[in-house]
Amino acid sequence: MNRVKNTVGAMAATVLLGAFSVPAAASTSSDAEAAANPAYRVLKHLDYSGPGKASLRVGYYDRTHDKGFGWNKVKKKHNITKYSAVEYIAKSPNRNRVGNSTTYHMTGYAGKYRCRNGVCTLVKQYKMILSVNEKVQRDGQDKGVITMYCVGVVRCPNWVSTTLAKENRSLAASDEGTVPEEDAPDNSQAPSDEVVDEADLEDENTPMDGGAPADEGDAVDGTETYLSSYQPLADSVSVTAPTTALTASGRERLAASYSPLAWTVPVSATEDRYRYAGSYNRLR
């Protein structure tokens, strides 16, 4: 009799354990999938001209099918390599909704001037478009950055990222939870549950002039000044145009503005705060 009771008790325990083991297995499977594909992981919350912050997620870029979103697409397809470059455009006051969707486009400009005889002439200008989808995801945050690119070319030249990033005013280093760019995972696999909105399929990177080399105007000879703005840049500026940073060479200058850039500004307003002088008499 005791043997029968023990057998029944063992069978009941087995059934109960089996019932409890199903959710655990499902949870493990879900966790494994999330670990295998980090596309929805947020790398940084960007300052944004729209409501709240814009999420910059790991995303993915499938080069074979030319599909993706987020940091991996921005970096791998369009050669935008700085979070701050993306954030500068995210703060643009030029914010337009795409149809009746939850996707918005922010725009700005990055340009290269060649300076000779006191005048800097615009030799290259790219219109920048950043696409942000505000649709809330399962984690309670927006899908965020879909793509960012230079209109006219697939891959932006390196100086575009540098120019935009130098002029971004965000204190990125203090953003809690930000994943450093060098630690952002590479990902080429789409998440299995991704829903792609039609408004996010637009990616205008076909050269405007099919007969012009993609790198025309991108050559560097040391006389360049790089500027960015939320409005189209002027065709020429004085060599004393506003500057906020110098490259290592000391000859390439970077500047940006939330309004059209001034043609000239006093040198004292743009140079370093310190001056060095030598004299045979006591300095005053």
Asked if the model's pLDDT at residue 185 lies above 90, the reply is yes
Percent helix, strand, coil in the chain, to 5, is: 25, 25, 50
Residue 283 in tokens: 């300095």
Which one is predicted more confidently, 139 or 211? 139
pLDDT at 81: 95
Reported confidence tier of residue 145, pLDDT bands at 50, 70, 90:
very high
In contact, 226 and 199? CB cutoff 8 Å: no
Reported confidence tier of residue 19, pLDDT bands at 50, 70, 90:
very low
pLDDT digits (tens, 9 = 90+) for 244-259: 332 323 333 445 554 5
Where is average pLDDT lowest: 26-30, 141-145, 208-212? Answer: 26-30
pLDDT digits (tens, 9 = 90+) for 191-212: 988 899 999 998 877 666 555 5
pLDDT at 219: 72
Instruction: Please give the single-letter amino acid code of residue 105.
Output: H
Residue whose entry in the numeric block shows the structure tokens 């949870």: 27
Q: What region, left, alpha or beta, does residue 77 occupy, with left being phi > 0 and alpha being psi -120 to 50 degrees? A: alpha
Question: What residues does each domain of the chain span?
Answer: 33-269
Where is average pLDDT lowest: 14-23, 80-89, 149-158, 248-257? Answer: 14-23
Residue 44 in tokens: 């940084």
pLDDT at 167: 80
69: Cβ contacts below 8 Å, ≥ 6 apart: 39, 57, 59, 60, 143, 145, 146, 147, 200
Residue 28 in tokens: 């493990």
Residue 190 in tokens: 């789409």
What share of the chain in percent tops pLDDT 70?
Answer: 64
Average pLDDT over residues 46-54: 94
Which one is predicted more confidently, 97 or 238? 97
Stated pTM of the model: 0.71
Reported confidence tier of residue 72, pLDDT bands at 50, 70, 90:
very high
